[in-house]
Amino acid sequence: MRKLDAKDREILDILSRDARIATKALAGRIALSRSATAERVANLERAGIIRGYRADIGEIDAGNVRAMLLIKLQRTPSHDLLDTLAQSPQVRRVSSVAGELDLIVEIAAASMDDLNGLRDGIAGHAVVADITTAVVLRRDIDRENA
């Protein structure tokens, strides 16, 4: 890959803010011909600098509450608790972590009441020493679904 020049950086800056911009409009904004602009964009795509275009969709389901349960266990591992979590369709991901916490559980619940019920069930498990709930307000960066 050749080194990025000022025009390439200008293209990337504009596309990062408006990925749907037409090539003709992009060319006009960077003062190049449409064919030269299209060639630069194609080169950036081939080089892997531009990896794709996506729609950044906000919350479409107001009844979808996402949260992280930060769990400290009395002892590890706790296969019984993991089996319990695996049975819940609201549990999206469970990560064992090092440090003061033992598990981070990602939840997608239909409502706050649903989240509270699930949380209470997990908190009542014999091996759970402490549990903290962090409700997700928004995802500022989400590369998992990119």
What is the architecture, at CATH level 2, of domain 65-135?
2-Layer Sandwich (3.30)
pLDDT for position 2: 67
Kindly indicate the confidence band of residue 88, based on its pLDDT and cuts at 50, 70 and 90: very high
Kindly indicate the confidence band of residue 59, based on its pLDDT and cuts at 50, 70 and 90: low
Measured CA to CA, the distance from residue 95 to residue 93 in angstroms comes to: 7
* CA dist list (Å): 49 to 40, 82, 106, 133: 11, 40, 31, 38
Model pLDDT for residues 105-137, shown as the tens digit of each residue: 999 998 888 999 999 999 999 999 999 999 998
When computed from its CA atoms, the radius of gyration of the chain, rounded to whole angstroms, is 23
pLDDT for position 96: 94
Q: Where in the chain is the domain with CATH 1.10.10?
A: 6-46
Residue 139 has pLDDT above 90, yes or no: no
Kindly indicate the confidence band of residue 77, based on its pLDDT and cuts at 50, 70 and 90: confident
What CATH number is given for 6-46 in this structure?
1.10.10
Q: Where in the chain is the domain with CATH 3.30.70.920?
A: 65-135
Model pLDDT for residues 90-105, shown as the tens digit of each residue: 999 999 999 999 999 9
Residue 29 has pLDDT above 70, yes or no: yes
Question: In degrees rounded to 5, what are phi and psi of residue 66?
Answer: -105, 140
